[in-house]
Amino acid sequence: MSSDIAWLSAAELADAYRSRKLSPVEVVRSLIQRMEKYDGIVNSFITLDSEAALETAKLAEYEIFHGRQRGNLHGIPVGLKDNIDVAGLPTTCHSKILLNNLPRRDAHVVSGLRAAGAVILGKQSLHEFAFGGPSPELPFPHAKHPWNTEYHPGGSSSGSGVALASGFTPLSIGTDAGGSIRNPAGSCGLVGLKPTYDLLSRRGVFPVSPSVEHVGPMARTVRDIAVTLDELIQIDRRLPETSSPLDLKLPELEQGVKGFRIGFVRNFHEEDMIADPQLISALNEVARTLEREGAIVRDVRLPRVQEFAAVHRVILLSEAWNVHAPWLRTRPGDYTTPTRRKVMAGAFLTAGNLVQACRSRDALIGSVDAAFGEVDVLLTASALDPVCRIADQAELLRTYARHARSPFNLTGHPALAMMSGRATNGLPLSVQFVGRRMGEATLLRTARAYERATQWMSTNPKPFNA
């Protein structure tokens, strides 16, 4: 039964609670036991808060079984990237710099999860400060791909993706300043959503680059993404200062894409940065699948992906340097080499560079908005290469910068990555869908139609023989 619990979705768990086939305590205890047995193989969690999780599960069980179920996240286990504050738990950002950082207040998104009755399991591994990469200099071991531990699981929300793909939790919350939710989601055969900029508050999240950074959900199914986002939005509606007009229209999630206009952005992966042939083939099949489902697929051209990436990089590095300059001047040896090298590049940028980047950003936002005058959803590449081995540092450096995710951090449009096939190495390939700002309902409906038509998400290998 414990292995069955490990692979239940959040929606399935909520149904099981309502019918009393399972209890939150039974589920949380089973997942903790699984993590204690297997997480040493993949290093997905930095802090596992077992005692508090079980106490929360007991309260949820009492409330649900006495007819007071708060919603679809009540009693559902959730893991958090360790740059998101939880009162009383360290927020280390996977760095020696913050090993003693103990926040007194929950991040806004954590307050929302608690109000929904979710069970916080603990804090998950990440690239140092959501910026570095795998390194032996880290204070805790870096996360490994659960399908094959020799491969990189994607970052920076590495542990969040690994925990989902390992059957340790049905939901994770990550952050995304340049693809950090979508990269591990696509790499590990999951679903990851970067919502519209500022849809979910970043209060209590250690900043990477505030003007391009997003908070968002990761899960094994599109429905779990939709339900999680909907619950958090509904809770925010009770607070005037964070009220959102967005309606995810959950009853319409299963209604398909017939008549939807899908804009296929081929130039990103066929001209600008030519993708691996396996990725190109998979993306073409995604387009054909959506056409078979009744969508109207047409080519859409956006500015070169390198132009988006260059503008994004100036803004990201300028803001990251502003955050880290004091520590880099006084404690440079406490950073890992990958993080130090990346952030130091921001010291050489000028105010003029940043001003010009912000002007260019406005034009690039306009180009994407103009595309949405003709289509409902964009279909693009996410990664441009299959997942590579962690030990192959040259290939890791080459491929990590080859992606089409940062354009939509720059523009603030919602973007979702999910599995689109398998490479010859057996690991997932991915696709990215992009929606209008506040267009998450249409975006999620498209992703769900593709998920239902292909069943990639239900055929993933289960690691650890369970």
Say which CATH number the domain at 178 has.
Answer: 3.90.1300.10
pTM over 0.75: yes
Radius of gyration of the chain (CA): 21
Residue 247 dihedral angles phi and psi, to the nearest 5°:
-120, 115
- What's the token pair of residue 406? 């940062």
45-48/77-81 β-pairing: unpaired
Annotated catalytic residue, options 111, 125, 156, 360: 156
Tokens 């007194």 — which residue? 104
Annotated catalytic residue, options 81, 144, 194, 342: 81
Query: What totals of helices (H) and strands (E) does the chain contain, helices first?
Result: 16, 11
The length of the chain is 466
Give the single-character DSSP code of 325.
H
Cβ distance 53 to 23 under 8 Å? no
Q: Print the domain residue range for 82.
A: 2-465
20 alpha-carbon distance from chain centroid: 31
Annotated catalytic residue, options 23, 157, 180, 420: 180
CB atoms within 10 A of CB 394: 8
Task: Decide if 157 is catalytic.
Answer: no
φ/ψ bin of 105: left (φ > 0), alpha (ψ from -120 to 50), beta (otherwise)? beta
Number of folded domains that form the chain: 1
pLDDT tens for the chain, residues 1 to 466: 455 899 999 999 999 999 999 999 999 999 999 999 999 999 999 999 999 999 999 999 999 999 999 999 999 999 999 999 999 999 999 999 999 999 999 999 999 999 999 999 999 999 999 999 999 999 999 999 999 999 999 999 999 999 999 999 999 999 999 999 999 999 999 999 999 999 999 999 999 999 999 999 999 999 999 999 999 999 887 655 555 668 898 999 999 999 999 999 999 999 999 999 999 999 999 999 999 999 999 999 999 999 999 999 999 999 999 999 999 999 999 999 999 999 999 999 999 999 999 999 999 999 999 999 999 999 999 999 999 999 999 999 999 999 999 999 999 999 999 999 999 999 999 999 999 999 999 999 999 999 999 988 788 888 986 6
Cis, peptide link before residue 156, omega less than 30° from 0: yes
